[in-house]
Amino acid sequence: MEKKKDIESYILGHIDPDDPVLRELDRETHLKVTGARMLSGHLQGQVLTMISKMIQPERILEIGTFTGYSAICLAKGLAAEGKLITIELDDELESLAQKYIKKAELQKNIIQLIGPALEIIPALNETFDLVFIDADKREYVDYYNLVFDKVKKGGYIIADNTLWGGKVLHPSVPGDKQTAGIVAFNELIKNDTRVEKVILPLRDGMTIIRKK
């Protein structure tokens, strides 16, 4: 465990530092929000930014805003005049995310929607270059099925927490619907011949899916 922490410290010491807005958002989230560990954090945030900059998407959909950290990271890679739509169920988090989206000067690029993603996604008349899934693990399969036809050919879907603390190795705990949701999602992606896929052992697991 100590070696893992040392490696993480080494990595963080050799990548670009968090920008001040993200550092402040990280700090306020940990001070004020229950479940602050759900925030993407520096390393994963840098990876999301890098992937977004590689793709240069015109349209991004994020399912699960939380306090806005990952939305800001992803929006940094948007093409000129690009838009990111982010969906969050918890309306109590809206103002905090909005505060930091404005501090990052991305309010013209990021559209916040509040409500159940399973109801909002079908109403979106958009096609997306990139989708980031990081919400209710029980609904990952449903999110994927709803967004698939809205993703452009050659577009990407990124799903977070797909190793789920290692629980995917022992998924048979009765009543553990979160783990069951992740396992079902992973099996779906494994067997979906319409896509290419890879799981990165980054933090809690991050699956990158490319639509053929």
Q: How many domains does the chain contain in total?
A: 1
Does the pLDDT value for residue 186 go beyond 60? Answer: yes
Does the pLDDT value for residue 193 go beyond 80? Answer: yes
Both structure tokens of 3: 């070696």
Q: What is the mean pLDDT of the chain?
A: 95
- The whole-angstrom distance between residue 178's C-alpha and the CA centroid of its chain comes to 16
In tens, the pLDDT along 89-129 reads 999 999 999 999 999 999 999 999 999 999 999 999 999 99
Q: What is the pTM of this model?
A: 0.95
- Of how many residues is the chain composed? 212
74, 52 in Cβ contact below 8 A?
A: yes
Does the pLDDT value for residue 2 go beyond 90? Answer: no
CA 212/CA 47 separation, integer angstroms = 22
Does the pLDDT value for residue 172 go beyond 80? Answer: no
Q: Which amino acid is at 157?
A: I
Band (1; pLDDT cuts 50, 70, 90): low
CA 15/CA 11 separation, integer angstroms = 6
Q: What is the CATH number of the domain that holds 73?
A: 3.40.50.150
Which position has the token pair 């309010």?
107
Domain that holds residue 169: 2-211
Band (151; pLDDT cuts 50, 70, 90): very high
- According to the 3-state scheme, what is the secondary structure of the chain? CHHHHHHHHHHHCCCCCCCHHHHHHHHHHHHHCCCHHHCCHHHHHHHHHHHHHHHCCCEEEEECCCCCHHHHHHHCCCCCCCEEEEEECCHHHHHHHHHHHHHCCCCCCEEEEECCHHHHHHHCCCCEEEEEECCCHHHHHHHHHHHHHHEEEEEEEEEECCCHHHHHHCCCCCCCHHHHHHHHHHHHHHHCCCEEEEEECCCCCEEEEEEC
CA 114/CA 66 separation, integer angstroms = 11
Query: φ and ψ at 198, to 5 degrees?
Result: -150, 140
In tens, the pLDDT along 27-50 reads 999 999 988 888 889 999 999 999
